[in-house]
C-alpha cells in the first residue's frame, strides 16, 4: 500500500472535535489536507484558563507518514505503524510517554489512546473520547 494512499485515508480527521478530558475541556481542530500536510491544534481549558496546548502536523514524506507534535520549540516525530479508513497508530520509541498514539474514529466520536511507560518503566495509558462538532 502506498504511503500517499495511507495519507488520503486520514482525510476524515479534518474538522473540530470537542470533549471533556484531563479535568477540562479538550478541543482539537484539524485542517483539510493541503498538499502533503494536515495541520492541527489541541488545547485543554480548565474554567477559562488554557492549561495545555500543542500543534500537530501530519506529513506524507513519500516513504513514511509522520505525526509530529509541536510543543513550544520542540518537535516530536511519530512514524505511522498502521493506517486504516477509520484509524491510525504511530510511535516514537525514543519517548517514554507517549510512546504510541492511536486515533480511532467511531461514527461522530474519536477515541485517542496514548501509551508508553512511566518513570519506573511501568506501563502507562490514557484514553479520551471526543466528538465531532457539526456545522
Report phi then psi at 133, rounded to 5. -80, 125
According to DSSP, residue 10 is labeled G
Q: What global pTM score does this model have?
A: 0.91
| Domain that residue 8 falls in | 3-132
pLDDT digits (tens, 9 = 90+) for 75-92: 999 999 999 999 999 999
pLDDT digits (tens, 9 = 90+) for 19-33: 999 999 999 999 999
For residue 125, the model assigns a pLDDT of 97
Total count of domains within the chain: 1
Sign of CA dihedral 69, 70, 76, 79: positive
Omega prior to 98 cis, within 30 of 0? yes
For residue 1, the model assigns a pLDDT of 42
The DSSP code sequence of 22-82 is: TTEEEEEEEPPPBTTEEEEEEEEEETTEEEEEEEEEEEE-SS-EEEEEEETTEEEEEEEEE
The answer to whether the beta carbons of residues 10 and 40 sit under 8 Å apart is no
According to DSSP, residue 86 is labeled S
**Domain CATH for 53:** 2.40.128.20
For residue 3, the model assigns a pLDDT of 58
Q: How far apart are the first and last CA of the chain?
A: 33
By C-alpha distance, which of 131, 98, 132 is closest to 21?
131
For residue 12, the model assigns a pLDDT of 95
For residue 5, the model assigns a pLDDT of 82
For residue 31, the model assigns a pLDDT of 97
Q: Which residue ranges of the chain lie beneath pLDDT 50?
A: 1
For residue 4, the model assigns a pLDDT of 60
Amino acid at each position: 500500500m502506498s504511503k500517499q494512499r495511507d495519507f488520503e485515508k486520514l482525510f476524515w480527521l479534518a474538522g473540530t472535535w470537542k470533549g471533556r478530558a484531563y479535568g477540562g475541556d479538550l478541543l482539537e481542530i484539524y485542517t483539510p489536507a493541503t498538499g502533503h500536510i494536515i495541520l492541527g491544534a489541541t488545547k485543554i481549558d480548565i474554567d477559562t484558563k488554557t492549561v495545555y496546548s500543542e500543534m500537530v502536523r501530519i506529513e506524507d514524506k513519500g516513504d513514511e507518514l509522520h505525526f509530529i507534535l509541536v510543543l513550544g520549540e520542540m518537535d516530536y516525530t511519530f512514524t505511522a505503524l498502521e493506517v486504516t479508513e477509520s484509524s491510525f497508530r504511530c510511535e516514537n520509541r525514543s519517548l517514554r510517554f507517549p510512546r504510541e498514539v492511536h486515533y480511532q474514529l467511531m461514527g461522530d466520536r474519536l477515541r485517542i489512546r496514548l501509551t508508553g511507560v512511566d518513570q519506573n518503566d511501568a506501563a502507562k495509558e490514557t484514553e479520551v473520547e471526543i466528538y465531532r462538532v457539526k456545522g
